[in-house]
Amino acid sequence: MVGGPSCQALVTGAAGFIGSHLTDGLLRLGWGIVGFDNLSTGDITNLAYAMENSRFRFVEGDLLDVEAARRVLGECEMVFHLAADPEVRTGAWNPDSHFRQNLTATFNLLEAIRRRGDPTRLVFASTSTVYGEASVVPTPEDYSPLLPTSVYGATKLGCEALAASYTELLPLRVVIFRLANIVGSRGRHGVVYDFMNKLRKNPKELEVLGDGTQSKSYLLVEDCLNALLMVLDETFWQKPVGIYNVGSEDRISVLAIARIVANALGLKEPAVRTISSLGGKAWPGDVKTMQLDISRIKRLGWRPKRNSEQAIWLSAKESA
């Protein structure tokens, strides 16, 4: 087991959706945590539990500030890097945000690690979007070529490559998790969140981006957390770079999600108005079909406790 009581880790993006759940989980296991977040998309209220723990220290700052990255790294030998612009659609009208908040921020963090020079273990939250429109579904980690269709996916893939290259420069080991769509408590973007807001405004009609047949894998944040915490096992650190898909073993359509969300709100099934001019996709860069092959991480003992439908339902009920 890596670390133990009072061991200190840095969590970037600690006030975000997944980052705050990870922070809480590590604190419950006895870790000391330095949480770093610029609060651009994160919410300090997500850290209510952590803020009451003497083993947690929050630092507001931005990884675009190289010196801030160096200072917050301190002596933390374990780094969980979740800071990013999490909204995939942003890249369609503001690709600069993904370039800076994903790629440049990761480069600055890696430079802080390099300048310190101490042995470091880095856990990076990547994404299923690095695969683009994969011709093999479910998609395994060794699928190629990796041709992202979104700027978000492209910058995340760039982050993976940068992190891998730095393992040649210094005593750094990296674990990369390619995550499916994560849903659940504290989530403030994505299809469930969007449908909830739209149906509260107009319970009779729901606008759906794309043709509604888009089919993707969804994973509850608690299952995602259990996967992330597996890096506390030495098994994950036997080689310089490890890559693992994390998702459910099925997928669900957008129209099915609409029905589940309406039901969670106690509404009759609303009339659905689809907006499709991109071959059925929801926005430029969207991936219409996504499901990950999770055989690799299952062999190490993890598997999701809920399928996509259950994850959507529990997320919707949490938000209702």
| Contact (Cβ atoms closer than 8 angstroms) between residue 138 and residue 293 | yes
Active-site residue flag, 49: no
Domain boundaries, given as residue ranges, for the chain: 8-182+219-246, 187-217+250-289+306-319
Considering the domain 8-182+219-246, what is its CATH architecture?
Answer: 3-Layer(aba) Sandwich (3.40)
List the catalytic residue out of 49, 131, 143, 152: 152
Q: What is the pLDDT along the chain (320 residues), one digit of tens a residue?
A: 565 555 699 999 999 999 999 999 999 999 999 999 999 999 999 999 999 999 999 999 999 999 999 999 999 999 999 999 888 877 577 889 999 999 999 999 999 999 999 999 999 999 999 999 999 999 999 999 999 999 999 999 999 999 999 999 999 999 999 999 999 999 998 999 999 999 999 999 999 999 999 999 999 999 999 999 999 999 999 999 999 999 999 999 999 999 999 999 999 888 999 988 788 999 899 999 999 999 999 999 999 999 999 999 999 999 87
233-238: long-range contacts, CB 8 A cutoff, minimum separation 24 = 233/1, 233/2, 233/300, 234/1, 234/2, 235/300, 236/175, 236/300, 237/2, 237/121, 237/173, 237/175
Fold entry, domain 187-217+250-289+306-319: UDP-galactose 4-epimerase; domain 1 (3.90.25)
Alpha-carbon distance of 200 to 183, in angstroms, equals 19
